[in-house]
Amino acid sequence: MPDGLLSTLIARVRKLAALALGNRSKKQQAPEPCPTIVIHGGAGTIRKEKMTSAEERELRAGLYHATECGYAVLRSGGTAADAVEAAVRAMEDSPLFNAGKGAVFNIKGVNQLEASFMDGRTGAAGAATLLTVVRNPISLARKVMESNRHVFLGGAGAEDYARETGLDIVHP
């Protein structure tokens, strides 16, 4: 992780902690909102002692790239939801993470993907599961949240909906 990103992240965490703990005098004004994107590289265990330094650098670069995709959306005036989708799509498109392209296989040797999306302001939610051909499950989950009368779609029905709405379909 580049030093600039780390110092920015530390400063943001300190601001949030100060706000949470009430460490502001009455005369002090609240700091300007500071967008923060927090991601993780997927479920499962990646043991540092089993990685080479080159593999660790590659993973960190992939995480940095995902956050930068989200920040780019915010810098261009996009919404928080747009930024989240962009960051997760970057991880889904990478073979490094247990998401999308890098997902682990199920017991039958097939990748089955899932994603969920929630708007904290409205409480709206969408999710999709048992996906094998949808390139970016996060985009499908968001579409379900925004434009479907359902909240949760699965399997062939979810994949049909992805096709109908123009999402990218891949061959497993």
> What is the model's pLDDT at position 153?
97
Q: Distance between CA 65 and CA 89 in Å, rounded?
A: 11
| pTM (2 d.p.) | 0.79
In the prediction, which pLDDT does 113 show?
Answer: 94
Q: Using an 8 Å Cβ cutoff, are 137 and 115 in contact?
A: yes
Q: What is the pLDDT of residue 109?
A: 92
The pLDDT of residue 53 is 92
- Which is nearest to 137 in space by CA: 122, 155, 149? 155
- Model pLDDT, residue 50: 86
Cα-based distances in Å from 81 to 44, 76, 118, 134, 139: 25, 13, 9, 20, 11
pLDDT at position 139 is 98
Q: Report the chain (172 residues): mean pLDDT per 10 consecutive residues.
A: 60 61 60 83 76 91 96 94 97 91 90 94 95 97 92 97 96 82
Which pLDDT belongs to residue 65?
A: 97
